[in-house]
Amino acid sequence: MINYLSDTITLPTDAMMQSIQEAKLGDDVYGQDETVNHLEEFAAKLTGKEAACFMPSGTMANLASIMAYCPRGTKALVGDESDIYIFEAGGASVCGGIMYEPIRTQSDGSLSIEDLTNAIPIDKNDPQFALPALICLENTHNRCGGKALSLDYLSEIKRFGDENHIPIYMDGARVFNAALSLGVDIKEITQHVDSLQFCLSKGLSAPVGSIVSGTKQHINEVRRIRKMLGGGMRQAGILAAPALVALQTMIDRLTEDHQKAKRLAKELEAIDGIEVETKDVHSNIIMFKIINENFTWKSFLEAAEKNNVIFSEMGYGRIRAVIHRHITDDDITSTIKIIKEILHSNIIKAY
């Protein structure tokens, strides 16, 4: 099976599995797991922040961070195409009494300053309005095809946040992909946000977990909320050890995923009945559409899976392919061959 469903399907490396056997363990709720402590210190330094907290998942990392910033009855400004808004079950509203205000997502994944400005009440003393307490960004942006936010934009949004006394939080699940796409050190991105989370179990291939990094004050509050949400873990070094190996060994190889994504997009673009823009491929995510009248996106996905290729649908009839370290050059060659055969065979049947 050639599986483009997500980079979350990546399996840990042999070195990660070996690290579990050698991990020094303790009770992480009491701060006594040496391996978790080492991971958090390493992650904080890597992202240029004061502190970090190991989280069971990116969803909990986002939820705990939003709740740490936003008192009940305030609002978080989120992209209307963001994972936080669409794919995380309304957690901040359910658990934190926080209002999401969806802001129109631009094609590059950004939220315009004009739209953000319009989300701030002119009279902040008017009791009718929920006040914005946080701006949430996503980088790279999943539903915009893995696009990386530009450094100029990040600088602009940070300045806007400071002027309006609203912190900037980044859902940076694939932020290392963003840094490699832009050709910069991760700190060139993180300097423009007050805090962020990044995923360890996507392209980095660790089995479980995400990191929140930010100020010591923010991380202390995130840690408290993690406990409240049921995310306090005991001998979590078993999970932290492979995560540390991932950060130490797997970041640079993400470039290979980007290169393969560009190759796949270019070859898809050459197929009659496929619509894809290679210039829109910034990282490891490709979005394409089927423009063959014999197929809907659903029937195409079903036909592909019957031929041992798995994609996902990402709204508006778009099909998503995510490249990860288990996708080989031969897999891409086979994928293109299979897609051509699927489309060609159904055209023949139609006539």
Contact between 190 and 196 under an 8 Å Cβ cutoff? The reply is yes
Task: Give, for 53, the enclosing helix (H) or strand (E).
Answer: strand 51-55
Contact between 340 and 346 under an 8 Å Cβ cutoff? The reply is no
Domain extent listing, the chain: 9-249, 254-350
Residue 345: pLDDT band with limits 50, 70, 90: confident
Contact between 282 and 146 under an 8 Å Cβ cutoff? The reply is yes
Give helix 58-69 / helix 216-228 axis angle, nearest 10°: 120
Q: At residue 348, does pLDDT exceed 90?
A: no
How far is 251 from 167, CA to CA, in rounded Å? Answer: 27
How far is 318 from 290, CA to CA, in rounded Å? Answer: 8
Mapping DSSP to helix (H, G, I), strand (E, B) and coil, where does residue 321 land?
strand
**CATH of span 254-350:** 3.90.1150.10
Two tokens at 263? 């190759």
Contact between 276 and 287 under an 8 Å Cβ cutoff? The reply is yes
Query: Which class would CATH give 9-249?
Result: alpha beta
pLDDT at 344 (0 to 100): 85
Q: Which stretches of 57-131 are assigned E, i.e. beta strand?
A: 75-79, 99-103
Pairing of strands 309-310, 2-3: parallel
In order of 41, 58, 166, 255, 325, the CA distances from 211 in angstroms are 11, 8, 22, 21, 21
**Amino acid found at 55:** M
In order of 43, 141, 150, 329, 338, the CA distances from 281 in angstroms are 28, 11, 14, 17, 22
pTM for this model (two decimals): 0.96
Question: With 0-12 CB in 10 A as exposed, 13-18 as middle and 19+ as buried, what is 176?
Answer: buried
Residue 350: pLDDT band with limits 50, 70, 90: very low
Average pLDDT, the chain: 96
pLDDT tens per residue, range 199-236: 999 999 999 999 999 999 999 999 999 999 999 999 99
pLDDT at 351 (0 to 100): 34
Length of the chain equals 351
Bridge partners (DSSP) of residue 52 are 213
pLDDT at 346 (0 to 100): 59
pLDDT tens per residue, range 239-287: 999 999 999 999 999 999 999 999 999 999 999 999 998 888 999 999 9
Contact between 327 and 4 under an 8 Å Cβ cutoff? The reply is yes
Task: Give, for 306, the enclosing helix (H) or strand (E).
Answer: helix 297-306
DSSP 230: T
Least confident of 27-36, 56-65, 109-118, 120-129: 120-129
In percent, the amount of the chain with pLDDT more than 90 equals: 95
pLDDT at 347 (0 to 100): 52
